[in-house]
Structure 1
Amino acid sequence: MNIREQTQRLEHEMLSPRAAKSDGSKGRMRPQKDCDIRTCYQRDRDRILHCKSFRRLKDKTQVFLAPEGSHYRTRLTHTLEVSQIARTIARALRLNEDLTEAICLGHDLGHTPFGHAGERALDRVCEYGYRHNIQSVRVVHRLENDLKGLNLTYEVLNGIACHTTRRTAKTLEGRVVRFADKIAYLNHDFEDAVRGGILEEDDLPWDVKYILGRSKSARITALITSIIEHSDEDIAMDEETFRTFLLFRSFMFENVYTNPQAKGEEGKAEYLTGRLYEHFLQFPERLPPLYRQVCEQEGKARAVCDYISGMTDNYAIGLYEDIFIPRSWGGPRQG
């Protein structure tokens, strides 16, 4: 019995009957020989962790565009905080922690530069529309690995696709990630808003402070504890905690996610994204070779959307300047 087979046996002995066991996976689109050491979900986690799209998350906006300071969240640090929260819940519920982590690491790979501002811009101009969760699936299924994709398991792809939609993930692990994503961004975005002078600690509604806690740590602990204590056949919170959770979310949307002070630069980001889309739709021959190949196989709109959505904030800004901003003439100086 090799290490993978030992791990699979331990899953059946130690995990909940409702957990997704790696030897029960629906498998991959392209069948592949099993690894002697890692289960299929461990391999998926590693493939995502080592892919280029994951590394680019460090330079993509979470909420605040180009913040001055090293402590604001990026899309990468958000992903890591989601993973920590989800793994804590999965471990306590005896679910498959490897599957949970793989979904977490891949859930935001399809996010555009400039956060949701870029997403809105592409959704408006692209003939296919744009949803980052669906693009995240496309990244791992089609674009990574020189258009061969990462060939992930069905359960990981399903969890990524369902982390932010009305569709419910087929596994409890995927449903944990959906909650963990919201728990992470509400709490760390509030902390960043306080750091940025948008809000003060005392601005939180009294119910949120009284029921969930006065610190980020206390609130996250309260939400995680409620899920652990009230999940059974599905992932859930108790009624009072869930009501307060929704109150917290409404407060954040009203005071941060739609706050003109916090989001004042987003109009520029949307304009920039839209102009880049129009430019490459008009001149697809200027796309990098990989995306010219997508263009030949799936059309201009698909290729341009893929190219722009994969950009980091600074790359998109630099590319816009190269295309649309005149450069100073570098000839001899006149004395």
Structure 2
Amino acid sequence: MPNTAREYTEQVEAQVLAPWAAKSCQSRGRLVPEEECPLRTCYQRDRDRIIHCKSFRRLKQKTQVFLSPEGDHYRTRLTHTLEVNQIARTIARALRLNEDLTEAIALGHDLGHTPFGHAGERALNKLCPGGFKHYQQSVRVVDKLEKNFQGLNLSWEVRNGIICHTKGKWADTQEGQAVRYADRIAYMNHDIEDAITAGVLAPSALPAEIVQILGDTKSRRISTLIQDLVDNSGAKGLAFSPLVGEAYEALHDFMYSTVYVDKDAKREEQKVEKVIAELYERMLEDPGLLPDGFLQIAYQEGADRAVTDYISGMSDEFAIRMFEDLFVPKKWHVL
């Protein structure tokens, strides 16, 4: 009989989860070994550490697609993360994968994202020696920058899922693969909805052949994609059927040829490049503008690395405030 709540959960996992699911008791462990929690499995602890960290809270003021939108219902990086989490957990439950691991990866996958969305990422990628990728930065956040530069010391499986969530090699676990699919399903569909709200895209503009396969509403498209993924996945991994996979790629190409290149959005992105570049150069010239912990990184790893870490962690509003403080003249107040 299990002696603790954690051991009971681990026993349930062994009995209920698919044979290829990641079991908590079989984790490859943490960078720094820790005593096990009597209540929570290692993946449950990782999820909790991510939810309570500062980087997670800052996602609420980071752009998803539309820069600093004034409407109440546009997505931010935080609401995107929550939608990815919901879709990923639905997939994981249907496939009998480890939902706790899936949730931890989903909640942590964008912790390293820049202010101003992918426009900010592209700007930093031009400035940072060696380039900048948000998925690599997300791992750096959990390994080093969070918790007053001690890191969150997450399990290997969560870190692997985070760094593999968008491009290149697929995650070693099906839970990580589920998050990668969930991310693609979420951003494509909520970007369509936000684009329609913004007047960038007409509801009738979606190609008819794609609508016929995936559905004519956000809900139907998401349901179709999840159901197809579940129906075509198993011991060998996750995959869409050829028909649905091709329709998704066609929708992806359509969005990149219309919404993501909208002239008004691109005009604003040029301003983002200026803000990021000016902040970057100013702090390289005067590292004293960096908080103490980042000064230590500058000493250990170089000023470029410290400035990149600091800027990438900013919210949109913080970056704009700092730009104004450094470069916009202030009014004289005459008594």
Alignment of 1:34-73 (within 5 A): 34-73=36-75
Instruction: Look up the match of 1:261.
Output: 264
| Contact 1:64-1:263 at 8 Å conserved across structures | no
Question: Deviation at 1:296?
Answer: 1.7
Tell me the SS of whatever aligns to 1:27. coil
Instruction: Look up the match of 2:307.
Output: 304
Alignment of 1:249-288 (within 5 A): 249-288=252-291
2:313 alignment partner AA: G
Q: TM-score w.r.t. structure 2 length?
A: 0.98
Alignment of 1:124-273 (within 5 A): 124-232=126-234, 233-273=236-276
1:197 alignment partner AA: G
Question: Deviation at 1:263?
Answer: 3.1
Tell me the SS of whatever aligns to 1:156. helix
1:99 alignment partner AA: L
Give deviations 1:32-91, integer Å, cap 9, x for gaps: 000000000000000000000000000000000011210000000000000000000000
Structure 2 gap ranges (5+): none
CA distance in 1, matches of 2:127, 2:111: 20
CA distance in 2, matches of 1:139, 1:302: 13
Q: Which runs of 4+ in 1 moved over 3 A?
A: none
Tell me the SS of whatever aligns to 2:258. helix
2:189 alignment partner AA: N
Tell me the SS of whatever aligns to 1:73. coil
- Percent identity, aligned pairs only, is 56
Give deviations 1:106-144, integer Å, cap 9, x for gaps: 000111000011111110011131000000000000000
CA distance in 2, matches of 1:292, 1:70: 37
Question: Deviation at 1:208?
Answer: 1.7
Cα RMSD between the aligned structures?
A: 0.7
Match of 1:8 among 10, 20, 23: 10
Question: Deviation at 1:288?
Answer: 1.0
1:140 alignment partner AA: V
CA distance in 2, matches of 1:311, 1:57: 9
Instruction: Look up the match of 2:292.
Output: 289
Instruction: Look up the match of 1:31.
Output: 33
CA distance in 2, matches of 1:176, 1:58: 23
1:64 alignment partner AA: F
Give deviations 1:265-321, integer Å, cap 9, x for gaps: 010011110110000011001111121121122110110000000000011001000
Moved more, 50-59 or 260-269: 260-269
Tell me the SS of whatever aligns to 2:321. helix
2:91 alignment partner AA: I
| Contact 1:198-1:261 at 8 Å conserved across structures | no
CA distance in 2, matches of 1:302, 1:270: 18
Say if 2:90 is the partner of 1:93: no
CA distance in 2, matches of 1:114, 1:8: 41
CA distance in 1, matches of 2:141, 2:334: 43
Q: TM-score w.r.t. structure 1 length?
A: 0.98
Match of 1:115 among 114, 117, 126: 117
Aligned length: 332
CA distance in 2, matches of 1:78, 1:263: 21
Question: Deviation at 1:16?
Answer: 0.1
Tell me the SS of whatever aligns to 1:265. helix
Question: Deviation at 1:262?
Answer: 3.0
CA distance in 2, matches of 1:290, 1:128: 22
Give deviations 1:6-42, integer Å, cap 9, x for gaps: 0000001000001000000000000000000000000
2:328 alignment partner AA: I
1:277 alignment partner AA: Y
Instruction: Look up the match of 2:22.
Output: 20
Tell me the SS of whatever aligns to 1:168. coil
CA distance in 1, matches of 2:306, 2:246: 42
Structure 1 gap ranges (5+): none
